[in-house]
Structure 1
Amino acid sequence: MRKGYWIALVDVSDVDGYKSYIAANKAVFEQFGGHFIIRNGEKEVVEGSLRSRVVVIEFKDYQTALACYRSPEYRAAMSLRQPFSQGDIVVVEGYEESAA
């Protein structure tokens, strides 16, 4: 089964306000087995454009990644994020190379 991922590109307008979202999303991601692969490390845009934060969260499969995003628990956490940031989030199925 292919893993599922959230890829989020975010600009935060109020870091202190955004901290309430960070605190709230921890329990939600734990509930759905999500864990951070990338959480805004050092980066260099080598082509195109980008927001200030890059986040990648891995889940056991695509359906779980979607279920987490659509859950009432995440919707509550999201309401804490929206006043303090703008972003783009995509939920994507991971790639598995077929054995030849």
Structure 2
Amino acid sequence: MTAYAVGQLRNVQMNDGIVDYLHGIDATLAPFGGRFIIHGGTRETLEGSPADDLIVIAFPSKAAARAWYVSPAYQVLVPLRLQGAEGDIYLMEGVGSEHRATDILDVG
């Protein structure tokens, strides 16, 4: 099942650390089958007033996403990201095409 690394970053400052992070991250994704789904782009706010930047990276599985995050290649970049951004990073499994909203009600 596809899984996603989701980043909600706040107070992003485009400094040398962030620039170096951006130059390095793509190479860390490839060995784990990761690819950006959402990264930058124009946001059209329909409700609320979000202050975060949203980043979503797809991986073939949650195990692949976790392996990417803990990999030495990515971990060396984390301090660079932290030089210019605060935020939350988490992994989430996706759902299949047959998923319906009420499926989460089945605690069964």
Q: Smaller-chain TM-score range?
A: 0.7 to 0.9
Give structure 1 regions of 4+ aligned residues with deviation exceeding 6 angstroms.
none
SS in 2 for 1:36: strand
Which residue in the other structure is 2:40 paired with?
Answer: 40
Listed as ranges, the gaps of 5+ residues in structure 1 are none
Which residue in the other structure is 1:85 paired with?
Answer: 85
Give the RMSD, CA atoms, in angstroms: 1.9
**Equivalence map 1:1-80=2 (5 Å):** 2-17=1-16, 18-80=18-80
Whether contact under 8 Å (1:9, 1:51) holds in the other structure is no
> Could you report, residue by residue, the CA deviation over 1:50-99 in whole angstroms, capped at 9, with x for unpaired residues?
33311110011111001111111111011111111001111011101459
Listed as ranges, the gaps of 5+ residues in structure 2 are 100-108
The one-letter amino acid of 1:24's match is G
SS in 2 for 1:73: helix
How far apart, CA to CA, are the structure 2 residues paired with 1:30 and 1:89?
19
Could you state the TM-score of these two structures normalised by the residue count of structure 2? 0.79
How far apart, CA to CA, are the structure 2 residues paired with 1:97 and 1:22?
32
Aligned residues: 98
Instruction: Report the structure number with the largest CA radius of gyration.
Output: 2
Identity %: 31
